Structure 1
Amino acid sequence: MTAETTGGGSGGEPEVSDSLKSFGEVVKAFRKRARLTQEEFAPRVRYSLPTVASIEQGRRFPPADFVDRAEEVLDAFGTIRGAARHLSRRPGLASWFRQWASLEAEAVSLYTYECRLIPGLLQTEAYARTLFAERLPPLGDEQIEARLAARTDRQRLLRERPNTAYGFILEEHLLLRRAGGRQVTLELVDHILDLAELRNIEIQIMPLVRESHAGMDGPMRLLETPDNRWLGYCEGQESGQFISDPKVVSMLQMRYARMRSQALTLEDSLSLLRQMRGAV
């Protein structure tokens, strides 16, 4: 598994975040001031009771809409929003992936080819939980929650940055594997189809049988910065390689461009996904 999905191995474990615990204490204090139980508070901020409990315990990174709703519901004088600004922004991400994640948040173009698993930006919670639950050595509940929080935080980019162009090339076998079972796969396919409806997201499927394939050297990511520089990232099991050398980046761009021509067209990719959904 990869750093973006697991948080890495022993060298990439997310550090304990005192800021998360402090934020949780602030929310709990204002909730009690408002004389609300967690059971009463959760529906008002439109989050589940387990999620609210995890946030108050400092085990889960609060989504932006939770912060805004909690601030309004609890009439917190801006204190909750202020506490949120001091949070460590990338809990649950391996150390070697954080530099790329920071650049990813500002990119004007982001292209991803994957042959091992569905990229983190496209994963559903159920699919991600499957990956985390099968992690070796096993993860604890708090570690899993931290990784899910990091995943949710990253996925906001797809909808919050409508002017960023996102492209994904996925191997067909990633969905045929049915990781997590039939229901998890059905939900995943539906989720990918929904994302493909967005104007800034292009999803192509590399067919199972392909005699000529430019991606045989493995997964890759490419991004374009706001000042129009191109950078690359490749990842192994316990490490990641950030690539800024223009010659190497150019080589990756060449390979990705060839794969775009080798994969199914956008229309044919969506058609195949719909067929696969019916066959799951």
Structure 2
Amino acid sequence: MALDDGTSEPETSDSLKAFGEVVKAFRRRARLTQEQFAPLVGYSVPTIASVEQGRRLPSAGFVERAEEVLDAFDAIRGAAKYLSRRKGLASWFRQWAELEKTAISLYTYECRLVPGLLQTEEYARRLFANHLPPFGDDQIEARLTARAERQQLLYERPNTAFSFIVEEHVLVRGEQVAPGQIDHILTLAEQRNIEVQVMPLARAMHGGMDGPIALLETPDNQWFAYSEGQESGHLITDPKVVSTLQMRYARMRSQALSLEESLSLLRQMRGAR
């Protein structure tokens, strides 16, 4: 989940809002609606809206495409140089988040909640809104921005292999929390580099009984793991421990429903809502 530890307030969002106004001004100058602009830059209408409202940190790809499409005289590139990244990641998670940016393989098993990379904005907002101790509105928005920025990995790294194994009860609860969550996962699973498997309730015992597992492989083929608990988390670099977690994840891949069976179950869940 990786929430901020609450030791500092989110940075100002003024630069994000200013950047959004620049993009909006050049989009309107080009006489394009958000709906017309979105396919030209290769991003969704909700993403365009979030960037223009100063709620989302734009990716480097967005900046370049917007600059080219709108012929903005380098104004968009220039505004991007002054963007302030609002804090929204827990201090203990930031090192792992940096490794994720260049990972060639990223594996996640989750038994508590929908993995952050797969969450809809509504699901994430509900999580942050129910955090204890309570977050303020600015803190919630900062965390949503950080979550959305991290999720760009799924779209900007087509050569990274993403694997997710999620407990069935987590997905059932996720759809109850935020209707549309399963639709979102099904859409993501259409990408060639994203695999989603469901660990069924009928599987009483499996390789992940000790808790969530996160694994990644770097471009130089090093493997790392990450473990997170209540208000804590740590990067695991010991090859022996990482090897053990790889063994458990491999076992779970064989114990979970196949990719086809998992997607079929998700469609059934969607139809039952």
- TM category (shorter chain) comes to 0.7 to 0.9
Q: Is 1:262 aligned to 2:258, yes or no?
A: no
Distance in 2 separating the partners of 1:87 and 1:176 = 38
1:124-143 to 2 correspondence within 5 Å? 124-143=120-139
Answer with 167-176 or 77-86: which moved more. 77-86
Amino acid at match of 1:79: A
Deviation at 1:90, TM superposition (A): 6.7
RMSD (CA atoms): 3.0
String of CA shifts for 1:70-93, please: whole Å, max 9, x gaps. 646875421321332453557311
Match of 2:11 among 4, 13, 16: 16
Aligned to 1:94: 90
Amino acid at match of 1:269: S
Relative distance call for 1:217 and 1:62 in structure 2 (3 A) is: same
Distance in 1 separating the partners of 2:216 and 2:259 = 20
Q: Is 1:272 aligned to 2:272, yes or no?
A: no
Distance in 2 separating the partners of 1:194 and 1:27 = 27
Aligned to 2:146: 150
Distance in 2 separating the partners of 1:245 and 1:127 = 34
Relative distance call for 1:250 and 1:88 in structure 2 (3 A) is: farther
Distance in 1 separating the partners of 2:82 and 2:220 = 27
The answer to whether the 8 Å contact 2:227/2:233 transfers is yes
Deviation at 1:208, TM superposition (A): 1.1
Aligned to 1:160: 156
Answer with 42-51 or 75-84: which moved more. 42-51
String of CA shifts for 1:26-81, please: whole Å, max 9, x gaps. 6547877x7x79xx9867765679746641xxx64235566457646875421321
Match of 1:172 among 168, 172, 175: 168
String of CA shifts for 1:139-169, please: whole Å, max 9, x gaps. 2222222222212211121122111110000
Distance in 2 separating the partners of 1:241 and 1:133 = 25
Distance in 2 separating the partners of 1:257 and 1:53 = 42
Match of 1:122 among 91, 103, 118: 118
Q: Is 1:221 aligned to 2:217, yes or no?
A: no
Deviation at 1:134, TM superposition (A): 1.2
Partner secondary structure for residue 96 of structure 1: coil
The answer to whether the 8 Å contact 2:24/2:52 transfers is no
1:43-54 to 2 correspondence within 5 Å? 51=50, 54=53
Deviation at 1:8, TM superposition (A): 2.7
Amino acid at match of 1:161: R
Relative distance call for 1:61 and 1:171 in structure 2 (3 A) is: same
- Unaligned ranges ≥5, structure 1: none
Match of 1:247 among 227, 240, 247: 240
- Unaligned ranges ≥5, structure 2: 39-44
Task: Count residues in correspondence.
Answer: 264
Instruction: Report percent identity of matched pairs.
Output: 62
Answer with 109-118 or 83-92: which moved more. 83-92
Amino acid at match of 2:251: R
Q: Is 1:62 aligned to 2:58, yes or no?
A: yes
> Under a length normalisation based on structure 1, what TM-score does the superposition of the two structures give?
0.81
Amino acid at match of 1:150: A
The answer to whether the 8 Å contact 1:243/1:249 transfers is yes
> Under a length normalisation based on structure 2, what TM-score does the superposition of the two structures give?
0.83
Relative distance call for 1:24 and 1:71 in structure 2 (3 A) is: farther
